[in-house]
Chains A and B, each alone.
Chain A
Amino acid sequence: MDDTVRVLVADDEDDIRLLVSLAVRKAGGTVVAAVADGRQALAAARTELPDLLVLDVSMPGATGLEVCTALRADVATAGCRVLLLSAGASPDDVAAGLAAGADAYLPKPLAGLIAEVRSLTAVVRA
């Protein structure tokens, strides 16, 4: 059985999207989709059913929080792991992310991104 962790990446910043994709590969995961819009992320999640989604909070179409809430409300995607990335680093920002159903929240500048992705892929594999 293929134990590669399937990851969806969504960020409207091209550089960050590529950076996260590289971090996912470095952590041993496979990027099944990399999109720049919240609506696209939700649509791709419903078709690809990834193990893990790495979502920027601030995106056009739908915010990462909205995508996360929608994923949790859909039986098909409720079990996906979600890592939120955001420029907001205040305790309120983090609390809002976790309240939306995220498994982890990483504020920019994304220190320890590879370690965080690696940790979540390990959880998925377990």
Chain B
Amino acid sequence: MSTILERPAEQTLPRHSPVLQPAHRLFPVGLCVLALAGIAVLASRPAGTGMLFTGASVVLIAVVELTRRLRGQLAMAQALELQRRDLVSQGRTTAEELEVATRMMRARAQTMTSVIDAVTEQSIIGTDRDGLIRVWNPGAERMLGLPRADVVRARSITDFHAPEELDARADPESDGHAAARFAALVQVARDQGSDVRDWTYLTADGRRLTVAVAITLRTDDDGEQAGWNFVGTDMTEARAAERLKDQFVSLISHELRTPLSSILGYLELVMDDEEQPLTADQRQYLGTVERNAQRLLRLVGDLLFTAQVDAGRFTLQPADVDLVAVVRAAEDTARVTADARGVSVRVAAPDGELVVRGDALRLGQACDNLVSNAVKFTPAGGSVTLRLRDGWQDDAGTVTELPRAGTRRVALVSVSDTGMGIPTGEQGKLFTSFFRASTARRHAVPGVGLGLTITKAITTAHGGSLDVVSAEGAGTTFTITLPAG
């Protein structure tokens, strides 16, 4: 591209610029000749006054015209000087701005470099569009065991990936071609803008690392694709610990369920034996055994469920669920225990159905947890109320009875009790695994602190929320809000 400096002078200066005027237009030769002629006439002292007058007139006219033109030239020269100063000033300003911008760019680049270099626990690898490495930070040096000088502009990012993982995603026809492997590596990021997943990195000394890699597209100043960024975190130990935890939970679950199966199975045989019926006392004692076995079983189930949630392996079996039936079932489940404790349980639910999309078993579990908690925390003579209604919720979470602009339909299940309440300072920790409120400990309310964690996880998995309002000594209300379509 040509610049202003490369253009011929006549293209860059105004056409009227006096610099370019022909000499005869700048220096009025004719007028000078005329004036000299007039002076010559006067100097020859002509006899007639007519000639004298004519000579004087010629001289005068020529001088006046010359003066006018000289003034014009002077004004133009002054204008040119001003223009020159202006241009010089602009040039100086532009140069200063350029210098400032250059300094800022340098500072920014230096900041970026120092930030990237300061990262030692994550690998930051930048490549061009074809995967050739251009950026290799100290974290990458440490993780993969090669210095920057050995890698930048010399190696491809795919050299450090387990080839079988790339080939599994690459075009089967590619036959392990490097370009196809790189295309497989960035395919999701290319389609979706970014991609975070585990990949296996191969280190210089032959180790295989499980690395969570965030892949993003890098663009230049014009918005054009310049290459790719790969930010990796070594998850090898964390993933191994997760696997161990999973195995442990699975083992514990199996080892606890099996003896419980024996206890409950044999109880069923004994209690249902029509040929040898039990006495009332025997039935009561074995009923206690069964109740406690079931309690242990629930605890095992809760522990397993919590581990699944933590591991991100909790999935729903979605179907249309009638919440009226869920709430009524929760009331039935709690009825025996509530009666035994002298706590009344009431239900306020609409006639007919209130259907949401969800997992009936898990929603039932969530309601059972809240009602069971409410009964446990309410002293004799108190009451627990299950309330089901629909409403309309806006983005800020405010629920109204009637639809408004920007609201969506929701179902609300609330469980209120007249129990001991939860201290305000502890309400924020309620949904943390194994947390128990001081009121629970003080009043020796049984439990391990998993019910609310599980209820919260179930609610969240349904795209809903779980809220609490409580006053110590007055009671507590938990509300599940679910999208109702």
Contacts and interface: CB of A to CB of B under 8 A. Distances in A.
Nearest to A56: B258
A99 interface: no
A110 interface: yes
Given A58-B254, A91-B315, A109 B264 contact: yes
Given A16-B258, A87-B258, A91-B315, A110 B265 contact: yes
A113 B265 CA distance: 8
Nearest to B308: A90
A22 interface: yes
Nearest to B296: A109
A46 interface: no
Interface in B231-267: 253-254, 257-266
A90 B257 CA distance: 14
Interface in A1-42: 13, 15-16, 19, 22-23, 26
Contacts of A104: none
Interface in A82-126: 87, 90-91, 108-111, 113-114
A113 B297 CA distance: 16
A13 B265 contact: no
Contacts of A58: 254
B272 interface: yes
A58 B257 CA distance: 13
Interface residues of B, number: 20
A19 B70 CA distance: 127
Interface string B316-339: 010000000000000000000000
Given A87-B257, A91-B317, A110 B272 contact: no
B262 A19 contact: yes
Nearest to B274: A26
B146 to A, nearest CB: 41
A110 B258 CA distance: 9
Given A87-B253, A109-B264, A114 B258 contact: no
A16 B262 contact: yes
Given A13-B258, A91-B315, A114-B272, A109 B297 contact: yes
B96 interface: no
A48 B317 CA distance: 39
Contacts of B293: 109
Given A58-B254, A91-B315, A108 B269 contact: no
A90 B305 CA distance: 10
B269 A16 contact: no
B258 A19 contact: no
Interface of A: 13, 15-16, 19, 22-23, 26, 58, 87, 90-91, 108-111, 113-114
Given A22-B269, A91-B317, 15 more contacts: A15-B262, A16-B261, A19-B266, A19-B269, A23-B265, A23-B269, A91-B315, A108-B257, A108-B261, A109-B260, A109-B261, A109-B264, A109-B297, A110-B261, A114-B272
